[in-house]
Amino acid sequence: MNDGDEPLKIVQACRTRWLSLEIAVSSIVDQWTEFKAHFEMARRTEKCYAAEVLYGMYENQINLGYLLFLRPILADVLKVKKAFETKMRIKQSCRKTS
């Protein structure tokens, strides 16, 4: 599934920073097929209810569509946030030097 590479970790969004969702969404979308295959194997071999639920979520292509829709929007929001933080740092730096 991962061409022999170490599998990537599932990134969890930080509870206090909703902007971390972009990283989590991108990670999930990029590994969609691998996650789907993993949870399908787990539900069959381990009879795990959580794996069954997660497989159902990955099996439904509408969920992938939602994430594909959200990913560029979240990326743009993150860019604006970073630009704002940079601008604020510059302002604070100017205040300290004057």
Query: Which residue, chain included where needed, has tokens 């970073």?
Result: 82
List CB contacts of 14: < 8 A, sequence separation 6 or more. 20
> pLDDT-based confidence at 98, cuts 50/70/90?
low
Whether 12 is in a domain gets the answer no
Whether 10 is in a domain gets the answer no
Residue 40: CB atoms within 10 A of its CB come to: 16
> pLDDT-based confidence at 18, cuts 50/70/90?
low
Domain count across the chain: 1
- What pTM, to 2 d.p., does this model score? 0.68
Whether 3 is in a domain gets the answer no
Whether 7 is in a domain gets the answer no
Whole-angstrom Cα distance, residue 91 to residue 56? 49
Specify the 3-state DSSP secondary structure of 48.
coil
Alpha helices in 6-60 (DSSP H): 21-30, 32-45, 49-59
Query: Range of 70's domain?
Result: 18-97
Give the pLDDT confidence score for residue 69 in this predicted structure.
97
Q: Which two tokens stand for residue 37?
A: 């295959």
Whether 72 is in a domain gets the answer yes
Whether 60 is in a domain gets the answer yes
- The per-type count for the chain, helices as H runs and strands as E runs, is 4, 0
Whether 47 is in a domain gets the answer yes
Residue 38: CB atoms within 10 A of its CB come to: 17
Whether 5 is in a domain gets the answer no
